[in-house]
Amino acid sequence: MRTDLAASYGEERLPRYTSYPTAPHFSPAIGADAYAGWLSELPSGASASLYLHVPFCREMCWYCGCHTQIVRRDELIAAYQRTLRSEIAQVAEAIGRRIKVEHIHFGGGTPTIMAPDAFAELMAAMRHAFFVLPSAEIAVEIDPRTLTAEMVEAMRFSGVNRASLGVQSFDPVVQRAINRVQSFEQTASVVDMLRCAGINGINFDLIYGLPHQTVASCLDTVRRSLELAPDRFSVFGYAHVPDFKKHQRMINDNFLPDGLARHDQACAIANALKEAGYVQIGLDHFARPHDAMAVAFKEGTLRRNFQGYTTDQGEVLLGFGASAIGHLPQGYVQNQVQIGAYAQSIANGHLATAKGYGLTDDDRLRADIIERIMCEFSADLGDICARHGAEAGAMLRSASRLKPLISDGVVRLDGDRLAVASDSRFLVRSVAAAFDAHLDPGKQLHSRAV
Protein backbone atom coordinates (compact mmCIF):
# COMPACT_ATOMS: atom_id res chain seq x y z
CA MET A 1 0.00 0.00 0.00
CA ARG A 2 1.55 3.29 -1.07
CA THR A 3 1.13 6.17 1.36
CA ASP A 4 2.48 8.63 -1.24
CA LEU A 5 -0.56 7.91 -3.40
CA ALA A 6 -2.91 8.23 -0.43
CA ALA A 7 -1.49 11.71 0.14
CA SER A 8 -1.75 12.65 -3.55
CA TYR A 9 -5.26 11.40 -4.27
CA GLY A 10 -6.88 10.77 -0.90
CA GLU A 11 -8.46 14.16 -0.26
CA GLU A 12 -10.41 14.30 -3.53
CA ARG A 13 -14.19 13.99 -3.16
CA LEU A 14 -15.48 11.19 -5.37
CA PRO A 15 -18.63 9.06 -5.74
CA ARG A 16 -18.78 5.51 -4.46
CA TYR A 17 -20.30 4.59 -7.85
CA THR A 18 -23.28 2.63 -6.63
CA SER A 19 -24.86 4.02 -9.80
CA TYR A 20 -23.77 5.82 -12.94
CA PRO A 21 -24.62 8.59 -13.39
CA THR A 22 -24.77 9.27 -9.66
CA ALA A 23 -27.78 10.65 -7.77
CA PRO A 24 -26.76 14.34 -7.83
CA HIS A 25 -27.41 14.27 -11.59
CA PHE A 26 -31.03 13.15 -11.26
CA SER A 27 -33.55 15.69 -12.55
CA PRO A 28 -37.25 16.51 -11.95
CA ALA A 29 -37.68 16.06 -15.72
CA ILE A 30 -38.18 12.37 -14.91
CA GLY A 31 -41.35 12.11 -12.83
CA ALA A 32 -44.24 9.81 -11.97
CA ASP A 33 -45.55 9.59 -15.54
CA ALA A 34 -42.15 8.58 -16.91
CA TYR A 35 -41.75 5.96 -14.19
CA ALA A 36 -45.19 4.51 -14.85
CA GLY A 37 -44.33 4.25 -18.54
CA TRP A 38 -41.02 2.56 -17.80
CA LEU A 39 -42.74 0.04 -15.53
CA SER A 40 -45.31 -0.84 -18.19
CA GLU A 41 -42.50 -1.44 -20.70
CA LEU A 42 -40.58 -4.00 -18.63
CA PRO A 43 -39.87 -7.15 -20.67
CA SER A 44 -42.14 -10.12 -19.96
CA GLY A 45 -39.27 -12.26 -18.67
CA ALA A 46 -37.80 -9.60 -16.39
CA SER A 47 -37.17 -10.29 -12.72
CA ALA A 48 -36.76 -7.62 -10.07
CA SER A 49 -35.14 -6.80 -6.78
CA LEU A 50 -37.00 -4.76 -4.20
CA TYR A 51 -35.57 -2.12 -1.87
CA LEU A 52 -37.71 -0.75 0.96
CA HIS A 53 -36.52 2.34 2.80
CA VAL A 54 -37.69 2.82 6.39
CA PRO A 55 -36.52 6.33 7.36
CA PHE A 56 -36.97 6.20 11.15
CA CYS A 57 -34.66 5.73 14.13
CA ARG A 58 -35.06 6.06 17.90
CA GLU A 59 -32.01 8.32 18.15
CA MET A 60 -29.59 9.93 15.73
CA CYS A 61 -26.11 8.53 15.19
CA TRP A 62 -24.04 11.59 14.44
CA TYR A 63 -22.02 9.94 11.65
CA CYS A 64 -25.19 8.95 9.76
CA GLY A 65 -25.45 9.82 6.08
CA CYS A 66 -28.87 8.23 5.51
CA HIS A 67 -32.25 9.86 4.98
CA THR A 68 -33.82 9.26 8.39
CA GLN A 69 -35.58 11.03 11.24
CA ILE A 70 -36.07 10.42 14.93
CA VAL A 71 -39.52 9.22 16.01
CA ARG A 72 -41.03 8.41 19.40
CA ARG A 73 -44.62 7.79 18.28
CA ASP A 74 -45.24 4.32 16.88
CA GLU A 75 -48.39 5.45 15.05
CA LEU A 76 -46.19 7.42 12.61
CA ILE A 77 -44.30 4.24 11.79
CA ALA A 78 -47.55 2.30 11.38
CA ALA A 79 -48.93 4.95 9.00
CA TYR A 80 -45.72 4.80 6.95
CA GLN A 81 -45.99 1.01 6.71
CA ARG A 82 -49.52 1.37 5.32
CA THR A 83 -48.19 3.85 2.75
CA LEU A 84 -45.51 1.38 1.70
CA ARG A 85 -48.18 -1.26 1.14
CA SER A 86 -50.15 1.16 -1.04
CA GLU A 87 -47.07 2.02 -3.07
CA ILE A 88 -46.30 -1.66 -3.61
CA ALA A 89 -49.81 -2.16 -4.99
CA GLN A 90 -49.49 0.90 -7.27
CA VAL A 91 -46.17 -0.24 -8.72
CA ALA A 92 -47.48 -3.77 -9.29
CA GLU A 93 -50.51 -2.33 -11.07
CA ALA A 94 -48.29 -0.18 -13.30
CA ILE A 95 -46.25 -3.25 -14.26
CA GLY A 96 -49.44 -5.08 -15.11
CA ARG A 97 -48.37 -8.55 -14.04
CA ARG A 98 -46.84 -10.41 -11.11
CA ILE A 99 -43.14 -9.99 -11.79
CA LYS A 100 -40.57 -12.40 -10.33
CA VAL A 101 -38.51 -11.14 -7.36
CA GLU A 102 -35.09 -12.56 -6.49
CA HIS A 103 -33.85 -10.13 -3.83
CA ILE A 104 -35.54 -8.00 -1.14
CA HIS A 105 -33.59 -5.54 0.98
CA PHE A 106 -34.92 -3.49 3.89
CA GLY A 107 -32.78 -0.42 4.53
CA GLY A 108 -32.99 2.69 6.66
CA GLY A 109 -32.98 4.21 9.10
CA THR A 110 -33.86 1.24 11.22
CA PRO A 111 -36.20 -1.16 9.38
CA THR A 112 -36.75 -3.24 12.51
CA ILE A 113 -38.33 -0.21 14.19
CA MET A 114 -41.63 -1.47 12.74
CA ALA A 115 -43.91 -3.53 14.92
CA PRO A 116 -43.36 -7.26 14.28
CA ASP A 117 -46.89 -7.82 12.95
CA ALA A 118 -46.53 -4.77 10.67
CA PHE A 119 -43.29 -6.20 9.24
CA ALA A 120 -45.01 -9.53 8.57
CA GLU A 121 -47.94 -7.76 6.89
CA LEU A 122 -45.54 -5.84 4.66
CA MET A 123 -43.81 -9.04 3.58
CA ALA A 124 -47.21 -10.60 2.87
CA ALA A 125 -48.14 -7.59 0.72
CA MET A 126 -44.99 -8.06 -1.35
CA ARG A 127 -45.67 -11.75 -1.81
CA HIS A 128 -49.20 -10.92 -2.95
CA ALA A 129 -48.08 -8.24 -5.44
CA PHE A 130 -45.00 -10.03 -6.77
CA PHE A 131 -43.85 -13.60 -7.25
CA VAL A 132 -41.16 -13.81 -4.59
CA LEU A 133 -39.07 -16.82 -5.55
CA PRO A 134 -38.54 -19.51 -2.89
CA SER A 135 -34.78 -18.98 -3.33
CA ALA A 136 -35.01 -15.19 -2.91
CA GLU A 137 -32.52 -13.47 -0.62
CA ILE A 138 -34.41 -11.36 1.93
CA ALA A 139 -32.10 -9.06 3.88
CA VAL A 140 -32.75 -6.62 6.71
CA GLU A 141 -30.49 -3.92 8.17
CA ILE A 142 -30.49 -4.09 11.98
CA ASP A 143 -29.56 -1.85 14.89
CA PRO A 144 -28.59 -4.43 17.56
CA ARG A 145 -29.49 -1.97 20.33
CA THR A 146 -33.21 -2.12 19.57
CA LEU A 147 -33.90 -5.55 18.07
CA THR A 148 -36.43 -7.62 20.02
CA ALA A 149 -37.07 -11.35 20.16
CA GLU A 150 -40.56 -10.71 18.77
CA MET A 151 -39.12 -9.01 15.69
CA VAL A 152 -36.67 -11.86 15.16
CA GLU A 153 -39.61 -14.27 15.19
CA ALA A 154 -41.49 -12.09 12.66
CA MET A 155 -38.41 -12.04 10.43
CA ARG A 156 -38.11 -15.83 10.65
CA PHE A 157 -41.81 -16.25 9.84
CA SER A 158 -41.43 -13.87 6.87
CA GLY A 159 -38.53 -15.75 5.30
CA VAL A 160 -35.69 -13.35 6.13
CA ASN A 161 -32.39 -15.13 5.55
CA ARG A 162 -29.78 -12.36 5.79
CA ALA A 163 -29.20 -9.70 8.43
CA SER A 164 -26.80 -6.76 8.28
CA LEU A 165 -25.78 -5.52 11.72
CA GLY A 166 -24.44 -2.02 12.30
CA VAL A 167 -21.34 -2.33 14.48
CA GLN A 168 -19.14 0.59 13.32
CA SER A 169 -16.73 0.40 16.29
CA PHE A 170 -16.56 -1.32 19.68
CA ASP A 171 -14.33 1.42 21.09
CA PRO A 172 -16.38 3.18 23.84
CA VAL A 173 -14.54 6.47 23.25
CA VAL A 174 -15.45 6.41 19.57
CA GLN A 175 -19.00 5.30 20.36
CA ARG A 176 -19.59 8.25 22.68
CA ALA A 177 -18.18 10.64 20.06
CA ILE A 178 -20.68 9.42 17.45
CA ASN A 179 -23.65 9.02 19.83
CA ARG A 180 -23.91 5.27 19.31
CA VAL A 181 -23.11 3.36 22.47
CA GLN A 182 -23.44 -0.35 21.68
CA SER A 183 -21.77 -3.05 23.72
CA PHE A 184 -20.15 -6.18 22.40
CA GLU A 185 -22.56 -8.18 24.55
CA GLN A 186 -25.60 -6.56 22.87
CA THR A 187 -24.23 -7.44 19.45
CA ALA A 188 -23.35 -11.01 20.45
CA SER A 189 -26.84 -11.54 21.88
CA VAL A 190 -28.47 -10.42 18.62
CA VAL A 191 -26.21 -12.68 16.53
CA ASP A 192 -27.20 -15.61 18.77
CA MET A 193 -30.93 -14.79 18.46
CA LEU A 194 -30.71 -14.59 14.67
CA ARG A 195 -28.86 -17.87 14.30
CA CYS A 196 -31.25 -19.64 16.66
CA ALA A 197 -34.06 -18.43 14.37
CA GLY A 198 -32.30 -19.90 11.32
CA ILE A 199 -31.20 -16.50 9.96
CA ASN A 200 -27.64 -17.53 9.27
CA GLY A 201 -26.49 -14.97 6.71
CA ILE A 202 -24.83 -12.38 8.98
CA ASN A 203 -23.10 -9.20 7.78
CA PHE A 204 -21.25 -6.71 9.99
CA ASP A 205 -20.85 -3.05 8.99
CA LEU A 206 -17.65 -1.38 10.23
CA ILE A 207 -16.53 2.22 9.73
CA TYR A 208 -13.05 3.77 9.78
CA GLY A 209 -12.19 7.47 9.87
CA LEU A 210 -14.44 8.18 12.87
CA PRO A 211 -13.51 10.68 15.60
CA HIS A 212 -10.82 9.43 18.02
CA GLN A 213 -10.41 6.27 15.95
CA THR A 214 -6.93 4.74 15.72
CA VAL A 215 -5.39 1.74 14.01
CA ALA A 216 -5.30 0.00 17.39
CA SER A 217 -9.00 0.60 18.08
CA CYS A 218 -9.90 -0.54 14.56
CA LEU A 219 -7.97 -3.77 15.04
CA ASP A 220 -9.60 -4.36 18.42
CA THR A 221 -13.02 -3.98 16.81
CA VAL A 222 -12.04 -6.50 14.12
CA ARG A 223 -10.71 -8.95 16.71
CA ARG A 224 -13.93 -8.82 18.71
CA SER A 225 -16.09 -9.02 15.58
CA LEU A 226 -14.27 -12.15 14.46
CA GLU A 227 -15.32 -13.85 17.70
CA LEU A 228 -18.89 -13.70 16.34
CA ALA A 229 -17.86 -15.12 12.92
CA PRO A 230 -20.06 -13.14 10.49
CA ASP A 231 -20.16 -14.32 6.88
CA ARG A 232 -19.42 -10.87 5.46
CA PHE A 233 -18.01 -7.52 6.44
CA SER A 234 -18.66 -4.14 4.86
CA VAL A 235 -15.96 -1.63 5.77
CA PHE A 236 -16.78 1.99 4.94
CA GLY A 237 -14.85 5.20 5.31
CA TYR A 238 -16.79 7.82 7.27
CA ALA A 239 -18.07 10.57 4.95
CA HIS A 240 -18.01 13.86 6.87
CA VAL A 241 -20.38 16.22 5.04
CA PRO A 242 -21.80 18.52 7.75
CA ASP A 243 -23.02 21.03 5.15
CA PHE A 244 -25.47 18.38 3.92
CA LYS A 245 -26.05 16.40 7.12
CA LYS A 246 -26.50 18.99 9.87
CA HIS A 247 -26.31 16.47 12.73
CA GLN A 248 -22.71 15.70 11.70
CA ARG A 249 -21.82 19.12 13.13
CA MET A 250 -22.00 17.40 16.51
CA ILE A 251 -18.73 15.69 15.54
CA ASN A 252 -15.67 17.81 16.28
CA ASP A 253 -13.57 18.07 13.10
CA ASN A 254 -10.41 18.28 15.21
CA PHE A 255 -10.85 14.68 16.34
CA LEU A 256 -11.20 13.23 12.83
CA PRO A 257 -8.20 11.34 11.41
CA ASP A 258 -6.57 12.86 8.33
CA GLY A 259 -6.29 11.16 4.96
CA LEU A 260 -3.13 9.22 5.77
CA ALA A 261 -4.52 8.03 9.10
CA ARG A 262 -7.73 6.90 7.36
CA HIS A 263 -5.60 5.03 4.84
CA ASP A 264 -3.68 3.28 7.62
CA GLN A 265 -6.92 2.30 9.36
CA ALA A 266 -8.44 0.91 6.15
CA CYS A 267 -5.31 -1.10 5.39
CA ALA A 268 -5.08 -2.46 8.92
CA ILE A 269 -8.70 -3.64 8.87
CA ALA A 270 -8.31 -5.19 5.41
CA ASN A 271 -5.11 -7.02 6.34
CA ALA A 272 -6.61 -8.36 9.57
CA LEU A 273 -9.71 -9.68 7.80
CA LYS A 274 -7.67 -11.29 5.03
CA GLU A 275 -5.39 -12.92 7.61
CA ALA A 276 -8.56 -14.32 9.23
CA GLY A 277 -9.46 -16.01 5.93
CA TYR A 278 -11.89 -13.53 4.40
CA VAL A 279 -11.67 -12.66 0.70
CA GLN A 280 -11.44 -8.95 -0.08
CA ILE A 281 -14.14 -8.03 -2.57
CA GLY A 282 -13.91 -4.80 -4.47
CA LEU A 283 -13.45 -1.58 -2.55
CA ASP A 284 -14.91 -2.36 0.86
CA HIS A 285 -16.44 -5.83 1.25
CA PHE A 286 -15.02 -9.04 2.71
CA ALA A 287 -16.56 -12.52 2.67
CA ARG A 288 -15.75 -16.09 3.57
CA PRO A 289 -14.30 -17.97 0.56
CA HIS A 290 -17.41 -20.11 -0.04
CA ASP A 291 -19.88 -17.27 0.45
CA ALA A 292 -21.98 -16.43 -2.64
CA MET A 293 -20.40 -12.98 -2.87
CA ALA A 294 -16.87 -14.37 -2.84
CA VAL A 295 -17.86 -16.89 -5.53
CA ALA A 296 -19.35 -14.12 -7.69
CA PHE A 297 -16.15 -12.08 -7.30
CA LYS A 298 -14.04 -15.07 -8.35
CA GLU A 299 -16.26 -15.83 -11.34
CA GLY A 300 -16.45 -12.22 -12.55
CA THR A 301 -20.23 -11.91 -12.01
CA LEU A 302 -20.16 -9.49 -9.07
CA ARG A 303 -22.43 -6.46 -9.49
CA ARG A 304 -22.78 -3.07 -7.82
CA ASN A 305 -25.97 -1.21 -6.92
CA PHE A 306 -27.32 1.13 -4.25
CA GLN A 307 -26.74 -1.47 -1.53
CA GLY A 308 -23.07 -1.75 -2.56
CA TYR A 309 -21.63 -4.99 -3.92
CA THR A 310 -24.20 -7.64 -4.70
CA THR A 311 -24.72 -11.02 -6.31
CA ASP A 312 -27.96 -9.69 -7.85
CA GLN A 313 -27.85 -10.15 -11.63
CA GLY A 314 -31.15 -8.40 -12.36
CA GLU A 315 -31.57 -5.19 -14.34
CA VAL A 316 -34.62 -4.03 -12.39
CA LEU A 317 -34.47 -2.58 -8.89
CA LEU A 318 -37.78 -1.25 -7.56
CA GLY A 319 -37.41 1.26 -4.72
CA PHE A 320 -40.19 1.82 -2.18
CA GLY A 321 -40.43 4.46 0.50
CA ALA A 322 -39.34 8.06 0.97
CA SER A 323 -36.07 8.84 -0.89
CA ALA A 324 -35.84 5.29 -2.30
CA ILE A 325 -34.04 4.92 -5.63
CA GLY A 326 -34.97 2.47 -8.36
CA HIS A 327 -33.12 1.33 -11.47
CA LEU A 328 -34.78 0.13 -14.65
CA PRO A 329 -33.32 -0.50 -18.11
CA GLN A 330 -34.48 2.98 -19.13
CA GLY A 331 -32.87 4.82 -16.22
CA TYR A 332 -33.10 5.78 -12.56
CA VAL A 333 -35.96 7.11 -10.44
CA GLN A 334 -36.04 8.50 -6.92
CA ASN A 335 -39.03 9.04 -4.66
CA GLN A 336 -39.83 12.20 -2.75
CA VAL A 337 -37.31 12.59 0.07
CA GLN A 338 -39.65 14.26 2.55
CA ILE A 339 -41.90 11.70 4.21
CA GLY A 340 -44.96 13.94 4.13
CA ALA A 341 -44.66 14.68 0.40
CA TYR A 342 -44.03 11.00 -0.32
CA ALA A 343 -47.07 9.90 1.68
CA GLN A 344 -49.30 12.55 0.09
CA SER A 345 -48.39 11.42 -3.43
CA ILE A 346 -49.23 7.81 -2.63
CA ALA A 347 -52.45 8.82 -0.84
CA ASN A 348 -53.49 10.73 -3.97
CA GLY A 349 -53.01 7.60 -6.06
CA HIS A 350 -49.83 8.82 -7.76
CA LEU A 351 -46.38 7.26 -7.85
CA ALA A 352 -44.08 9.27 -5.58
CA THR A 353 -41.30 9.79 -8.14
CA ALA A 354 -39.66 13.19 -7.63
CA LYS A 355 -36.73 12.97 -10.01
CA GLY A 356 -34.72 10.58 -12.11
CA TYR A 357 -32.41 10.14 -15.05
CA GLY A 358 -32.94 8.70 -18.52
CA LEU A 359 -29.87 6.76 -19.63
CA THR A 360 -28.14 7.45 -22.92
CA ASP A 361 -26.09 4.92 -24.88
CA ASP A 362 -22.91 6.64 -23.68
CA ASP A 363 -24.11 6.41 -20.06
CA ARG A 364 -24.70 2.67 -20.41
CA LEU A 365 -21.23 2.16 -21.89
CA ARG A 366 -19.53 4.15 -19.15
CA ALA A 367 -21.65 2.48 -16.46
CA ASP A 368 -20.43 -0.94 -17.62
CA ILE A 369 -16.80 0.18 -17.58
CA ILE A 370 -17.11 1.76 -14.13
CA GLU A 371 -18.90 -1.27 -12.71
CA ARG A 372 -16.20 -3.67 -13.89
CA ILE A 373 -13.47 -1.42 -12.47
CA MET A 374 -15.28 -1.18 -9.13
CA CYS A 375 -16.01 -4.92 -9.02
CA GLU A 376 -12.86 -6.46 -10.53
CA PHE A 377 -10.20 -3.71 -10.41
CA SER A 378 -9.91 -4.16 -14.16
CA ALA A 379 -11.86 -3.72 -17.36
CA ASP A 380 -11.48 -5.10 -20.87
CA LEU A 381 -12.28 -1.87 -22.67
CA GLY A 382 -12.09 -3.50 -26.08
CA ASP A 383 -14.72 -6.10 -25.19
CA ILE A 384 -17.02 -3.68 -23.35
CA CYS A 385 -16.84 -1.02 -26.05
CA ALA A 386 -17.45 -3.58 -28.79
CA ARG A 387 -20.63 -4.74 -27.04
CA HIS A 388 -21.84 -1.14 -27.08
CA GLY A 389 -20.79 -0.40 -30.65
CA ALA A 390 -18.03 1.96 -29.53
CA GLU A 391 -14.27 2.18 -30.03
CA ALA A 392 -11.91 1.62 -27.08
CA GLY A 393 -9.32 4.07 -28.35
CA ALA A 394 -11.84 6.90 -28.39
CA MET A 395 -12.92 6.06 -24.84
CA LEU A 396 -9.32 6.10 -23.63
CA ARG A 397 -8.64 9.42 -25.32
CA SER A 398 -11.66 10.93 -23.58
CA ALA A 399 -10.43 9.78 -20.15
CA SER A 400 -7.94 12.58 -19.48
CA ARG A 401 -7.96 11.88 -15.72
CA LEU A 402 -6.39 8.50 -16.49
CA LYS A 403 -3.01 9.94 -17.58
CA PRO A 404 -1.61 10.87 -14.14
CA LEU A 405 -2.91 7.59 -12.72
CA ILE A 406 -0.91 5.72 -15.37
CA SER A 407 2.16 7.89 -14.75
CA ASP A 408 1.95 7.23 -11.00
CA GLY A 409 1.66 3.48 -11.52
CA VAL A 410 -1.89 3.27 -10.22
CA VAL A 411 -3.20 1.98 -13.56
CA ARG A 412 -1.60 -0.32 -16.09
CA LEU A 413 -2.75 -0.59 -19.69
CA ASP A 414 -2.12 -3.72 -21.74
CA GLY A 415 -3.58 -2.89 -25.13
CA ASP A 416 -7.22 -2.12 -24.37
CA ARG A 417 -7.20 -3.91 -21.03
CA LEU A 418 -7.00 -1.71 -17.96
CA ALA A 419 -5.96 -2.98 -14.51
CA VAL A 420 -5.52 -1.25 -11.18
CA ALA A 421 -2.14 -2.07 -9.62
CA SER A 422 -2.48 -4.39 -6.62
CA ASP A 423 -0.85 -1.87 -4.25
CA SER A 424 -3.19 0.90 -5.47
CA ARG A 425 -6.59 -0.75 -5.24
CA PHE A 426 -7.64 1.61 -2.47
CA LEU A 427 -7.77 4.25 -5.25
CA VAL A 428 -10.26 2.32 -7.37
CA ARG A 429 -12.78 5.17 -7.10
CA SER A 430 -10.20 7.53 -8.61
CA VAL A 431 -9.75 5.13 -11.53
CA ALA A 432 -13.50 4.76 -12.05
CA ALA A 433 -13.85 8.56 -11.97
CA ALA A 434 -11.62 8.79 -15.04
CA PHE A 435 -14.57 7.48 -17.08
CA ASP A 436 -17.20 9.67 -15.41
CA ALA A 437 -18.34 12.19 -18.03
CA HIS A 438 -20.61 13.93 -15.48
CA LEU A 439 -18.10 14.45 -12.66
CA ASP A 440 -17.71 18.02 -11.39
CA PRO A 441 -14.57 18.10 -9.20
CA GLY A 442 -15.51 21.54 -7.89
CA LYS A 443 -18.58 20.28 -6.01
CA GLN A 444 -18.03 18.74 -2.57
CA LEU A 445 -20.90 16.24 -2.90
CA HIS A 446 -19.09 13.03 -2.06
CA SER A 447 -16.81 11.41 0.49
CA ARG A 448 -13.02 11.48 0.34
CA ALA A 449 -11.37 9.02 -2.04
CA VAL A 450 -9.50 7.41 0.88
Interval 190-217: pLDDT, tens = 999 999 999 999 999 999 999 999 999 9
Three-state SS for the chain is CCHHHHHHHCCCEECCCCCCCCHHHCECCCCHHHHHHHHHCCCCCCEEEEEEEECEECCCCCCCCCCCEECCCHHHHHHHHHHHHHHHHHHHHHHCCCCEEEEEEEEECCHHHCCHHHHHHHHHHHHHHCEEEEEEEEEEEECCCCCCHHHHHHHHHCCCCEEEEEEECCCHHHHHHCCCCCCHHHHHHHHHHHHHCCCCEEEEEEEECCCCCCHHHHHHHHHHHHCCCCCEEEEEECCCCCCCCHHHHHCCHHHCCCHHHHHHHHHHHHHHHHHCCCEEECCCEEECCCCHHHHHHHHCCCEEECCEEECCCCCCEEEECCCCEEEECCEEEEECCCHHHHHHHHHCCCCCEEEEEECCHHHHHHHHHHHHHHHHCEEEHHHHHHHCCCCHHHHHHHCCCHHHHHHCCCEEEECCEEEECHHHHHHHHHHHHCCCCCCCCCCCCCEECC
Average pLDDT of every residue of the chain: 94
pLDDT at site 7 = 73
User: Most confidently modeled of 2-6, 236-240, 382-386?
Assistant: 382-386
pLDDT at site 10 = 66
pTM for the complete prediction?
0.93
Q: For each of the domains in the chain, give its residue range(s) and CATH number, in order of start.
A: 23-358 (3.80.30.20), 361-448 (1.10.10.920)
pLDDT at site 441 = 65
Give per-residue pLDDT as tens, 263-290. Answer: 899 999 999 999 999 999 998 999 999 9
pLDDT greater than 70 at residue 413? yes
pLDDT at site 440 = 79
pLDDT greater than 80 at residue 126? yes
pLDDT at site 3 = 67
pLDDT greater than 80 at residue 99? yes
pLDDT greater than 70 at residue 339? yes
